[in-house]
């Protein structure tokens, strides 16, 4: 089952042992990015998962491609050219100290991608699913047009499309985001969002959410999902509900809105190892659940369990099997040693 | 004071920093195994602690022996021959992700041990205590017979015998376990068990225990200890009561049943560093408490504190002094810096 | 704005990954000490921060000086001579296992410092603040006299003086401490103390505090601050209120007593990475707040936030900006990723 | 261009920093094996490189497959089942201390492979080249038959076949080797051997070679290549000429015998980082040169340069580009920094 | 004694243990750049060494500044602004495999520096020496003008000026380099060059040098130094003579041309640990020798010894004392342990 | 076969990867000292090897004892008390940069040892050999007397005594050394020395040795051995002949003088990993060879091979088997991989 995601993969340089960047004498090296993380997740579920991007023709580009392949992702459609790979530096916080990301992604090969770098007819041939996120369009001048190309071909070919809104204030303003993203919504079947995205990208505000304290109001989420579904006719809306107690402890649950009904998952108290990419595991698991024909509640539980588990795995990419996710989704939360 | 334990010591290869095996670029190396862990605990208490096993004549066998000696364990009766050392791979889990053990212990030197490898008359000469666990007999064809040899000699010499039931479903079925282990019970003075063992190995079921949720019912434990004591005439029954909230947070307490009465220890909320070997530290501390003539409540508190502390120490072997354990057992739970 | 602190900086050798010293095959290397930590904190706040000490003329002395400079501390007045640098070994505990410090600081260059090593007229020229702690006088024979020299010059020059009582039972008895420290109190404008210090060093007992259980009584603290203020006419008294649940989880808040009133900060539940130096960050932040003219409540919140954050940073020295501290002080406790 | 290699890939556990196994507190983790190394080399040359093996269905099997993919090797025909992955432990020697390998590969999934695990018609469909080594047949009972199956299908399909004799005295005797390997020679087009192999596996002795001192006689090599070529009608014979001065310094050159003539490469003085897999890089480079239609001297220089460079790269797998190899082959031996 | 250098300092990310970038799971972190390396060298000689550059206002900029200070370099004149720090990735080669540098320095804060960022009147006030290299001008549009500003002020103030030609083909063509650099020569008192620079930057060709084989002809160097001295009236010309046997073994000597005479140093056979920055240590040592008034032969020996030793120290910055350098310069080449 | 050595074991803190102490962010931890190294060597040869020392009662003392036991050394006679363990910091040099040792051993538990700490009657009961070195007496006030006690008891009991002169200029002057050491010579059967020792400690000068260039003259060594043998009636004199080309490359051979004849070993060109303790391995191997009754030439070859191999092993303690040493001693110098 062929699935395709499109976006940027970056070199990720993180400090070990909760060190601050200022103190670091070494960086742990891995590679990641929103859509690449989804591709890696889907590859591990056993799907034929392709990640489409552009990487420079240097050892760092090679290493990023090798990293994708290691996790089972197919790199056949990766364009190779340009000057550099995007980088992000990561401090993993603890307790009251937030994790901190320093981006150094301007002028990357991907940001300078051209429409002719990607032959969507070929790329989406035989595909069942296409996924992208709201991080991608603001990264480069031609990227909104490349995405538009992809979405049109996807529609022609009957490929299901999912979009994770993923609003990043560093990359564009609300107004810019809305101008680009709202027209894309007509192509989108499955919408994925975390708590800030819907307000910023779709211009629909959520009441009952206080980002500062991390308190959530479940009903507000149901209402807003209903509203966006009405407006854009999504088949599914998936929303993650993160309650941040601290950088160490979070509560985590998800809502899948389908057929006019919200389906809330179990709520997990998580001691965090590495939360980067948890939202992408949610997206990946929701896609997987949709492709497998799970009912909405099972989708919610599966996607909540998958993304809960991602919090415990270092690196952007999850390393998980269907069995492991299903075991947690079925209620085995005790974390007892498996021998 | 000479004490003897018998079993397998394995090369332990664990991933650093909560990585999954799939991601590992290095493994942390240590050595451990149920009875070796008990021997190491007792050596640190200052006893004359001998571990009896069989190791291959190669650098890994040398290293395992060296590791034992480093922790004060005497290796005079270790047989050396055979093809390989048993190995176990360990991922230390976090939060909802369980720790995972991948065993690779088949065909080890120990599993191929022969009765003639061990001269129990010499080994148990002057010994006060002999300890083994239910992991040992299913590991190799001759091992039940070797154990029978040891137990008979122990009985003749008046050596006190303890057994940790330690049922492992990967190694044998309940039926196989019962067939071998139940006849051994007549030699056993002190029985140690965790929550699943009694049902599986002795065929006596515990009500009021839900392994999935990790909830425990103290009275059920008292009842079952009473029952097995009646049946097998044990002097002491020690049971660990683990309540698994997650792979990160557990509640931990123990019960020592003696003279017809259950003695429950303090209950600790533990943030886990490495829980492997905690049960073995409990066993070791219970043996130590018995040899020192502690009263049952003190045995319980000492053994609970020792095994609580083991959760905070990396590796299979505890590194603890009598003073450290007694300090916690006496109620100093605040974890304030000691300068 | 020139600030000066005086004390010992040691080589700190800590075990990685919660290992015990017995197990360690490597030590993480950093440098720290009470007053050096304060100097590093103040340098990061942007002040002209000088640390005064004596270091041996060897690569370890060079490295300690380099470490100070790396964090922005000026080393112009560091005397260089003597035989060795003081060392402390550190095990970072977890859960019920306390962190453990093994000192090896006797005979250090600093402990053998002479009065002629320090020209206080020059050192304090133009300075706004002088800080020292109760750890320094017992370290060497001439140190009480050197401190007395410094305090007299500070008074002449109108330099504000702060003192962190920092009682260490390994270094001297209560009686010895009181004999040296009480006469110094007349020079002190700002007194800093944790819960044991006031009783031991100033001989004034606090009721309502049970160190073993870590329970605190806020009113007792207010009373005692009032009492010492009356007695010694301090401008400000800062007290840290640590509630130790375990070596992993602590509650942390502070009180700033000024103008006859106690000002309590927010109370943080902290998951600890490295708590060494937290009290020094409190001292540094209180000094910074005083120099900036913060009102007492803001001083309390700022100093509580700064020292809360220190618990999450490896090493003795905090790595923090004014902005980061103010963000937490203003209530952003959720630890959400900053991108 | 599709190429296929068949053999075992093992978990490789090596000690860092020239430590002995006895001292190791961690092992560096990678994966390798003779034919896997060839596959990885060919993948990096840009060919469509498939490695055929059998791996257990556990995280270590997953990791081995992921490692192959990372280096660009296709794992489509890897059978998955069985109990364990083969392991080898490696100490990298220095100076007069030899590198030491401890094998622990018995009972591996590969050693228990069955004929029905591999559909050679499918595997070799469209392939240009098939490579195997003399390590494979003695590893398991059915392996000689599986290889025979593969060789027959290769012959039918006109696939070129190369064999690296790779005699390992631990695995079988000369007599056993000859019995199995000599009949395979009729299928072999390109023979690869190091200095001991021809005598042991083909029963043809080389004079003028003193393994103990590492001295070589070039003419003897030419003669023996001529002899085996006559006897078995090989198209090409490739021989590596290692002169071991010590575990740190080796001289390295190769001979390619083709069309009745020996072609000797440049002779390199190598300071060794990791020599494991150098012979496999030679094999891979000879295959690549053959597929590219290089003339015999160019084959020799290219294969010598590739295998020379492998000595400088940690791990079994080379990481090299065609350009890098050609640059050295063309005489750029000075090792000047490339910016 | 105040000395000033001006240029870019980059984040250096190098692979450990001779790994290739493709294989790296961690990078060693340090900071360096041609003129920063000279500044660090001079600081260690005990001079008042200032490095002038522009760094971004982020944790990586902070860390670079901290790194400079750690080595004793003053950062008072460092401008702070812009988007990113320049990065270079480094593989340290071995034997026939060259070290490889991948630059990612475009768009750095330094490359976007403006003339108004640097107040040369203040910066060079009281300075004895100003040093720059040929790497700096091509890095950014305004950099040639900034350098021109600096050189003019230096001339006015009577500051001695040294220039390391340091031609980098990736940054500009010979023609571009000559256009910018030749006019700067009138300000230069001390010229430093390695073997390629003079031809490329000054357009004067050296015969007798074969870069590919690394063979050198001493007379040619003397002639060329004479020629450039005549043409540009340099007080001193310093040339490093690297003979590259391989990436592991180099021969190293230097020539100092002064008063019409060449002065050749001892020639060292070096086993390389990290050769990056060796030329900068040569430059630094030549500057130090000039400031100290060494005679030309002593300058040559001191600078050769300093730069020889740099090859043995990891990182861009040397860590050396005057005593250590003089000891080697005086002939103590045996490397015997110093206790 | 019981052998006893007496001296100090220190905590050894070395920088990884040829870093300088100034740069170190971690230290590798091991333990060593001249006589401890000999004890570890002998334990590995299979002898009953006891090391006698005094260690503090803290985790570092425990760790040193554990380290000894790990390598098979018996610690039954180790006194425990005092304030600190001696420490030495080690930079492993390279090429022209010497390794550097910074001692921090004053005031150690061993240096404060008392005569009553050691019951030599018991310690030497049944012993065949007693070994000490010239490092021990100057370490503490009572140490010369303790040694005298030991030597007298050894003589009474007919224990063979060996002494490694091991002159250390940091510890005492030639005159002090001679005053203490010369009277001990009457007890010594086997004298071990490196090139400087005989002159400094016994006051007999060697001509033909230029320490600076590392050139050696074999005849001078024979003469001097003859001379000291005559004077002190030694049974055996063992001398190591180190020719230091650089910190990376040394030539190494040894001479054993016995029965009036010098016996020179093979001369090895060594690429050094860690040369600390090589002399101690020579001493250990000479003792082993004497106990085994090797003829003088075999002693020389065995001891040369053992100490040659030590140069390739990290840490003070050799990790070697009799077989490995004999293999090299018999001429297998090629360093080929052992599988």
Among the residue ranges A126-130, B82-86, B211-215, F237-241, the one predicted with the least confidence is: B211-215
Q: For E266-280, what is each residue's pLDDT tens digit?
A: 999 999 999 999 999
For residue B212, list chain A residues with Cβ-Cβ distance below 8 A: 331-332, 334
Looking at residue D165, its pLDDT comes to 97
Taking CA atoms, what residue in D is nearest to B108? Answer: D104
- The chains found to touch F (3+ Cβ pairs under 8 angstroms) are B, C, D, E
Does residue E280 have an active-site annotation? yes
Nearest alpha-carbon partner for D129 in D322, D317, D283 = D283
A71:D66 CB<8 A: yes
Among A27, A63, A84, the residue with its CB nearest the CB of E104 is: A84
Looking at residue E74, its pLDDT comes to 98
For residue D20, list chain F residues with Cβ-Cβ distance below 8 A: 313, 319
Looking at residue F21, its pLDDT comes to 98
F93:E331 CB<8 A: no
Looking at residue F207, its pLDDT comes to 66
Residue % of chain E over a pLDDT of 90: 93
Provide the annotated active-site residues of F.
280
**Does residue C280 carry a pLDDT above 90?**
yes
Cα–Cα dist B205/B196, whole Å: 9
Looking at residue B220, its pLDDT comes to 86
Taking CA atoms, what residue in D is nearest to A64? Answer: D70
Q: Tell which of C29, C98, C109 to mutate to test the F interface (max F CBs under 10 Å).
A: C29
The whole-number average pLDDT for the span C27-35 is: 98
Q: For E216-265, what is each residue's pLDDT tens digit?
A: 678 888 999 999 999 999 999 999 999 999 999 999 999 999 999 999 99
Q: For F138-154, what is each residue's pLDDT tens digit?
A: 999 999 999 999 999 99
Looking at residue F212, its pLDDT comes to 54
Taking CA atoms, what residue in D is nearest to A74? Answer: D69
Q: For B1-39, what is each residue's pLDDT tens digit?
A: 999 999 999 999 999 999 999 999 999 999 999 999 999
Give the other-Cβ count within 10 Å of B252's Cβ. 27
Q: For E10-40, what is each residue's pLDDT tens digit?
A: 999 999 999 999 999 999 999 999 999 999 9
Q: For F167-225, what is each residue's pLDDT tens digit?
A: 999 999 999 999 999 999 999 999 999 878 998 999 887 666 555 555 567 888 899 99
Cα–Cα dist C97/C80, whole Å: 38
Cα–Cα dist E39/E132, whole Å: 10
The whole-number average pLDDT for the span B72-99 is: 98
What part of A 95-154 touches B (C-beta under 8 Å)? none
F291: its two tokens:
């106990």
Looking at residue A210, its pLDDT comes to 58
**Does residue A325 carry a pLDDT above 80?**
yes
The whole-number average pLDDT for the span D249-257 is: 97
Q: For A193-238, what is each residue's pLDDT tens digit?
A: 987 899 899 988 766 655 555 556 788 889 999 999 999 999 999 9
Q: For A231-282, what is each residue's pLDDT tens digit?
A: 999 999 999 999 999 999 999 999 999 999 999 999 999 999 999 999 999 9
**Secondary structure, 3-state, chain D:** CEEEEECCCEEEEECCCCCCHHHCCEEEEEEECHHHHHHHHHHHCCCEEEEECEECCCHHHHHHHHHHHHCCCECCCCEECCCCCCEEEEECCECCECCEEEEECCCCCCCCCCHHHCCHHHHCCCEEEEEEECCCHHHCCCHHHHHHHHHHHHHHHCCEEEEECCCCCCCCCHHHHHHHHHHHHHHCCEEEECCCHHHHHHCCCCCCCECCCCECCHHHHHHHHHHHHHHHCCCEEEEEEEEECCCCEEEEEEEEEECCEEEECCCEEEECCCCCCHHHHHHHHHHHHHHCCCCHHHHHHHHHHHHHHHCCCCCCCCCCCHHHHHHHHCCCCCCCCEC
Number of residues that make up chain C = 339
Q: Please tell me the distance in Å from B131's CA to the nearest CA on chain C.
A: 25
For residue F66, list chain B residues with Cβ-Cβ distance below 8 A: 70-72
Looking at residue C49, its pLDDT comes to 98
D319:E95 CB<8 A: no
Cα–Cα dist C123/C51, whole Å: 10
B23:A315 CB<8 A: yes
**Does residue F13 carry a pLDDT above 70?**
yes
- The chains found to touch B (3+ Cβ pairs under 8 angstroms) are A, C, D, F
Higher-confidence residue of C196 and D131: namely D131
The whole-number average pLDDT for the span A37-66 is: 98
Looking at residue F185, its pLDDT comes to 98
pLDDT band at D4 (very low <50, low <70, confident <90, very high): very high
Query: Which residue matches tokens 């008042």?
Result: E48
Looking at residue F206, its pLDDT comes to 67
Q: For C61-75, what is each residue's pLDDT tens digit?
A: 999 999 999 999 999
Looking at residue C215, its pLDDT comes to 57
The whole-number average pLDDT for the span E278-299 is: 98
Nearest alpha-carbon partner for D152 in D125, D128, D184 = D184
Q: With an 8 Å Cβ cutoff, is E67 touching chain C?
A: yes
**Does residue D157 carry a pLDDT above 60?**
yes
With b for 16 or more beta-carbon neighbours within 10 A and e for fewer, the F55-85 pattern comes to bbebbbbbbbbbbbbbbbbbbebbbbebbbb
**Does residue F87 carry a pLDDT above 80?**
yes
Among E22, E96, E249, the residue with its CB nearest the CB of D328 is: E96
Among A20, A101, A244, the residue with its CB nearest the CB of C334 is: A244
Looking at residue F218, its pLDDT comes to 83
Looking at residue A93, its pLDDT comes to 97
Residue % of chain A over a pLDDT of 70: 97
Q: Please tell me the distance in Å from E100's CA to the nearest CA on chain F.
A: 19
> Contact F335/F282 with Cβ under 8 angstroms?
no
The whole-number average pLDDT for the span B161-179 is: 96
Q: Please tell me the distance in Å from C62's CA to the nearest CA on chain F.
A: 7
Q: For D85-95, what is each residue's pLDDT tens digit?
A: 999 999 999 99
Q: For C6-22, what is each residue's pLDDT tens digit?
A: 999 999 999 999 999 99
For residue B245, list chain C residues with Cβ-Cβ distance below 8 A: none
**Does residue C254 carry a pLDDT above 70?**
yes
Give Cβ neighbours of residue E183 (< 8 Å, ≥ 6 apart). Answer: none
Domains in chain F (CATH in brackets) are: 2-328 (3.40.1190.20)
Q: With an 8 Å Cβ cutoff, is F328 touching chain D?
A: yes
Looking at residue B213, its pLDDT comes to 54
Looking at residue E194, its pLDDT comes to 82
Q: Please tell me the distance in Å from E258's CA to the nearest CA on chain A.
A: 42
Q: With an 8 Å Cβ cutoff, is E339 touching chain F?
A: yes
The whole-number average pLDDT for the span F302-313 is: 98
Q: Tell which of B83, B84, B97 to mutate to test the D interface (max D CBs under 10 Å).
A: B84
**Does residue D218 carry a pLDDT above 90?**
no
Nearest alpha-carbon partner for D317 in D289, D276, D282 = D276
For residue F314, list chain E residues with Cβ-Cβ distance below 8 A: none
Looking at residue F210, its pLDDT comes to 58
The whole-number average pLDDT for the span F57-77 is: 98
pLDDT band at E215 (very low <50, low <70, confident <90, very high): low
How many Cβ pairs closer than 8 A exist between chain B and D? Answer: 69
For residue F69, list chain B residues with Cβ-Cβ distance below 8 A: 69-70, 72
Q: For B183-220, what is each residue's pLDDT tens digit?
A: 999 999 999 998 789 989 998 876 665 555 555 678 88
**Does residue B137 carry a pLDDT above 90?**
yes
Looking at residue C9, its pLDDT comes to 98
């Amino acid at each position: 089952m062929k699935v395709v995601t499109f976006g940027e993969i970056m070199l990720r340089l993180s400090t070990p042992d909760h060190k601050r960047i200022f103190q670091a004498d070494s960086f742990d090296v891995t590679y990641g990015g929103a859509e690449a993380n989804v591709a890696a997740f889907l590859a591990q579920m056993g799907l034929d998962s392709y990640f489409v991007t552009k990487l420079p023709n240097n050892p760092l580009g090679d290493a990023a491609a090798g990293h994708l392949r290691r996790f089972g992702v197919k790199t056949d459609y990766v364009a190779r050219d340009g000057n550099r790979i995007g980088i992000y530096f990561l401090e993993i916080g603890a307790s009251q100290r937030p994790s901190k990301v320093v981006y150094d992604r301007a002028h990357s090969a991907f940001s300078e991608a051209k429409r002719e770098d990607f032959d969507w007819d070929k790329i989406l041939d035989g595909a069942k699913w296409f996924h992208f996120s709201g991080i991608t369009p603001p990264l480069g001048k031609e990227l909104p047009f490349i995405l538009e190309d992809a979405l049109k071909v996807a529609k022609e070919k009957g490929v299901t499309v999912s979009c994770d809104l993923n609003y990043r204030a560093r990359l564009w303003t609300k107004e810019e985001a809305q101008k680009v993203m709202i027209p894309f919504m007509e192509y989108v079947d499955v919408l994925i969002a975390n708590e800030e995205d819907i307000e910023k990208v779709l211009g629909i505000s959520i009441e009952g959410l206080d980002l500062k304290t991390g308190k959530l109001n479940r009903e507000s989420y149901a209402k807003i999902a209903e509203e966006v579904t009405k407006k854009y006719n999504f088949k599914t809306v998936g929303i993650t509900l993160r309650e941040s107690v601290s950088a160490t402890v979070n509560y985590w649950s998800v809502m899948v809105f389908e057929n006019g009904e919200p389906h809330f998952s179990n709520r997990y108290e998580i001691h965090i190892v590495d939360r980067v990419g948890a939202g992408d595991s949610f997206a990946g698991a929701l896609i997987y659940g949709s492709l497998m024909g799970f009912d909405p509640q099972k989708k919610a539980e599966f996607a909540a369990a998958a993304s809960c588990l991602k919090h415990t795995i270092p690196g952007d990419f999850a390393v998980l099997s269907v069995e492991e996710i299903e075991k947690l989704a079925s209620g085995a939360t005790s974390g007892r040693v498996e021998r």
